Chain A
């Protein structure tokens, strides 16, 4: 009962905030709507017993990514914003198709909870959520983890090179 109340609260706010992200004219409002959405997604994670991910969601998304967005929006001073794009018929077509697909799929499978799969490699129960994720991350998914660190390294170098002014010219100092 109370779980459903929480779910519907989070779901409504997430949906409304995501619509606001797309619809808001001021980029700052978009970013703030996204911030609200991140918070409620984190809340949803908590109701799903993934509290470690909830914390990481806020730290990474809200604490780092969105601050960067706000930083860039303020740096470029994007107050005057735009109409929507010309290709909205295409967007509508894609959107409607996807909505129909989603509705059909969910209607086909029904609204019931599927049977719990068997033979899972690691269960969520047991030790704490963070501990479980750590165990799996550093054993089964060690290679993807290393690849992720490589992605971050590449992104870091790429961002520095892209954002740096007058590259290639001899720098004074």
Chain B
């Protein structure tokens, strides 16, 4: 029993650390998004709170925390309260299976734990897909419970869009799964020692014929659509639907929706980095720390590589937002079903054929 409680305590500590990292990332993302958008549009972004506005997320958080919590008349109160929590929880628990660093074990209090992944389950990527598919419920329920036509339209749009693009996300990663031969994110990452899946890695070597670059492009585009970001932010299109599904939300519930959006952005960035860009692997064999004789610190370099990949994707999200205009709804649907889906299917077929003719050794 003591071992069980000890294990629970260690897991809890791991989970809290990871949630803390994710929340800090979310807070910095709200700042950097405004800052980078400002720079790209010849503005300054937030400059008032702290030097160069660096305390803006804190100020925003405090402001939203003390704002009045408004529930619209005629709203379904229980669902209205449930929706932001559901969205937030769903976008946070997906991080449990992401390997942030090398697959090493550590002995603490007589327990053997993996410090850089909370739960190394053997269906990790399916778990993430399942979690992501729950994310639509928060949006739909929030839109429905608000008793507002803008919210309802935003929720319906979100439902259709998330279903359509989740299909593409699921199909885009099948090629990677074929190459890796595993559903566990830890094993998938380990299979890409220094040649990543985007260039056609395999657990037993480097085969450029297996390149997954098309799947990668499909994945990134669909991930942008699934997190409701510009240019696919139709559920919250401010020029048509005020703010879409969170039009009627205020205060902390609004903050939950917004931070859930950033957290799910971070989650898809982590997944993209793990699946296509080798996760914590460097783009060269081994690590620099190993060459200079610091094997004990190799994990620092691994984590640095992972973080830089994730932040590259997050920057890409902002960059795309600064550049592209919003799609029309029928364009969105046509693009998802008539362009992305055939590409993803063709990628699966081609990868399957190449794997068949160059079987894993």
Contacts and interface: CB of A to CB of B under 8 A. Distances in A.
Q: Give yes or no for direct A-B contact (beta carbon below 8 Å).
A: yes
Interface of A: 28, 32, 35, 51-52, 55-56, 58-59, 62-64, 67-68, 70-71, 74-75, 128-130
B130 A28 contact: no
A54 to B, nearest CB: 8
19 contacts: A28-B76, A51-B122, A51-B123, A55-B126, A55-B130, A59-B129, A59-B170, A63-B166, A67-B162, A67-B163, A71-B159, A71-B160, A74-B155, A74-B156, A74-B159, A128-B122, A128-B183, A129-B122, A129-B123
Contacts of A35: 137
B159 A58 contact: no
Nearest to B177: A130
Contact of A130 (B144, B159, B183): B183
Contacts of A59: 126, 129-130, 133, 170
Given A59-B133, A63-B136, A70 B159 contact: yes
B134 A62 contact: yes
Residue among B76, B137, B162, B166 with most chain A CB within 10 A:
B137
A50 B126 CA distance: 13
Given A52-B126, A55-B123, A62 B140 contact: no
A58 B129 CA distance: 9
A74 B142 CA distance: 12
A130 B123 contact: yes
A62 to B, nearest CB: 6
Residue among B134, B152, B160 with most chain A CB within 10 A:
B134
Given A58-B133, A59-B133, A52 B140 contact: no
B81 interface: no
Contacts of B123: 51-52, 55, 128-130
Nearest to B82: A32
Interface string B150-174: 0010011001101100100010000
Interface in B51-79: 76, 79
Contacts of A71: 140, 156, 159-160
A74 B137 contact: no
Contact of A56 (B126, B136, B155, B159): B126
Residue among A35, A67, A75 with most chain B CB within 10 A:
A67
Given A58-B130, A130-B122, A28 B160 contact: no
Given A74-B140, A74-B144, A74-B159, 17 more contacts: A28-B79, A32-B141, A55-B127, A62-B130, A62-B134, A63-B129, A63-B132, A63-B166, A64-B133, A67-B136, A67-B162, A67-B163, A71-B160, A74-B152, A74-B156, A75-B156, A130-B122
Contacts of A28: 76, 79, 144
B242 to A, nearest CB: 18
Residue among A28, A55, A56, A129 with most chain B CB within 10 A:
A55
